[in-house]
Structures are given as structure tokens and as C-alpha cells.
Amino acid sequence: MIEKYTLDNLNQDSVSVKKQTYIDYMGQQYPIGEIWRRAYVNSVQGREQIVAELPQAQVTAIMAVWGDAPTVAEEI
């Protein structure tokens, strides 16, 4: 099985992530199962979540846009 991630609406403050699982059958890829979606904000907690929940390649891409510091304040 192959998992593909799509980063939608990636900007300095947030990102929407979609994950779809595929099988390879006779040279063709077919989606299986439900699409997984999640939105993250560029806050301390959002940054911790992407590191815990996403593969390193996606984390690196998101952090390249988000930079070194959060832009969204945590709600109390």
C-alpha cells in the first residue's frame, strides 16, 4: 500500500493536509479506504501536532513556509 499526502492551502498561518491510501494493481494505483483530512495552525501546539502526526517530508515542507516561530497565539 502507498500513502500519499497533499498539502492544501499552505500559508504562514495554517495548512490543510489530506492523506489517501492506494494499492498498486497491475501497474495502476487505486485509492482505497476513506480520505484522512486535518487542518493545523502555526501555533506551538500545531507545530507539535505536525511533528507527531506527519512524515518528516511533510513536516519539512510545512516548516519551510511557517518559518522558525509560531504566528498564531494559543487560545486559553
Q: Is residue 19 part of a domain?
A: yes
Sign of CA dihedral 20, 71, 59, 76: negative
Q: Is residue 52 part of a domain?
A: yes
Whether the pLDDT of residue 74 is over 80: the answer is no
Q: Is residue 21 part of a domain?
A: yes
Whether the pLDDT of residue 76 is over 70: the answer is no
Within a 13 Å sphere around the CA of 39, how many CA atoms are in the beta-carbon half? 5
Instruction: Kindly report, residue by residue over 40-69, the tens digit of the pLDDT.
Output: 999 999 999 999 999 999 999 999 999 999
Q: Is residue 75 part of a domain?
A: no
To the question of pTM greater than 0.95 for the whole model, the response is no
47 touches 41 (CB < 8 A): no
Q: Is residue 7 part of a domain?
A: yes
What is the residue range of 16's domain?
2-66
